[in-house]
Amino acid sequence: ASGSLPIEVGVDPEPLSWDGTGTVVETGDTWARLDAPAHPDPGGHFVGLASDSGVLDGGFPHYDCGGLLGGGDRALIAGTEVGTVSGRDVAWHDCTVRANGDPVRGIALFCGKDAFGIKLVGERIDLRVGEGVTVTVGCGSRTD
């Protein structure tokens, strides 16, 4: 937020790698949560989506920018470079997220302690519990 002060959070989230695939385990009107990447120790410590040597935070690409917690120089989602890193800040590239080939608004990036899994968000997420999902990210003229 404009004028906000940075804060230091007293946790060191574990980065979890993700290959862009998963199975839907929960849905709502505007979101679907996948089972991957799975939390290796639910309740034990915080985890988040790995990027370089850190963890991504924020709404990709539907927020103006995001964050990279724990260090690193690159913002990557499922192997695709999705932003420019400056310190802890990430300026998202112009990217499109697709689930099984259909565009979605984006990915809600967060840290979780009790459970984890990629959360896809959008106006019309047409995915059902139990459905296998492949998420792809295309930035600029590329469709990685």
Which DSSP symbol is given to 7? -
Tell me how far apart the alpha carbons of residues 113 and 39 are, in angstroms, rounded to a whole number. Answer: 8
pLDDT at 3: 64
> In this predicted model, what pLDDT tens digit does every residue of 47-66 receive, in sequence order?
999 998 899 999 999 999 99
Question: What pLDDT does 143 receive?
Answer: 44
Side chain identity, residue 70: G
DSSP 8-state code for residue 93: -
E strands in the chain = 14-16, 21-28, 31-34, 47-51, 54-60, 65-69, 75-77, 80-86, 89-92, 95-99, 102-104, 106-109, 119-121, 132-139
- Low-confidence residues of the chain: pLDDT under 50: 142-144
All structural domains of the chain with their residue ranges: 14-139
Q: What is the pLDDT of residue 144?
A: 43
- Residue-level pLDDT at 10: 76
